[in-house]
Structure 1
Amino acid sequence: MPLGEQAAYPVEYRIEHLRERLAKDDMGELGVRVELRGATVLLVGVVQTAERRDEILRLARAELAGVPVRVRADLVLSGAGPPARHEELW
């Protein structure tokens, strides 16, 4: 959707479009909730990498460009890397 067209849609529509983009495309990010709280759009969930978190934030800011809301994120990294120490099995 071109940027000029985006401004014509209410914030709720744009948030729903963001949810769809997170679930589809290359993201496939189903663990992130998008909530509207007053004049703030809150992104909450767990993501695998810092790069993924940054991409989600970039996408949210692009989707909500021109809308008078703040974007806040509570996106936690899952830490799916290798263990920090040797695990002893009994």
Structure 2
Amino acid sequence: MTAVENIEYRIAHLRDRLAHEDIAELGVRIEARGAWAMIWGSVTGPESRAAVLRIAAEELAGVPWHEDLTVHHVGPPDHAEVLS
């Protein structure tokens, strides 16, 4: 198995874990970019972000990877909008 095939296999396993474990974060995207992986998208809270990063570290151990995850807050605003 080549290094790129190995990364693709590990990314597929990571996607599967994110979709099927209790976390179920479907807004996260992962792709191989040569010899490294990129993880980006939105998650529902800081705990979910931490869980995604923990699982990614487990599945991609030894593979360089970068992340750009945004915490998307769902719910009513916490302050009034000021219109000028």
The TM tier, using the shorter chain, reads 0.7 to 0.9
Shift of 1:81: 4.6
Q: CA RMSD in A?
A: 1.8
* TM-score normalized with structure 1 length: 0.74
Bigger Rg over Cα = 1
**Alignment-derived partner of residue 6 in structure 1:** none
In 1, Cα distance between the equivalents of 2:28 and 2:6?
21
Shift of 1:84: 2.3
* TM-score normalized with structure 2 length: 0.79
Asked if 1:38 is matched to 2:34, the reply is yes
Deviations 1:16-41 (A, max 9, x none): 00000011011211111111112221
In structure 1, stretches of 5+ residues that fail to align are: 1-8
Shift of 1:12: 1.2
In 1, Cα distance between the equivalents of 2:65 and 2:6?
16
**Alignment-derived partner of residue 22 in structure 1:** 18
Counterpart contact for 2:7–2:36, Cα < 8 Å: no
**Alignment-derived partner of residue 49 in structure 2:** 53
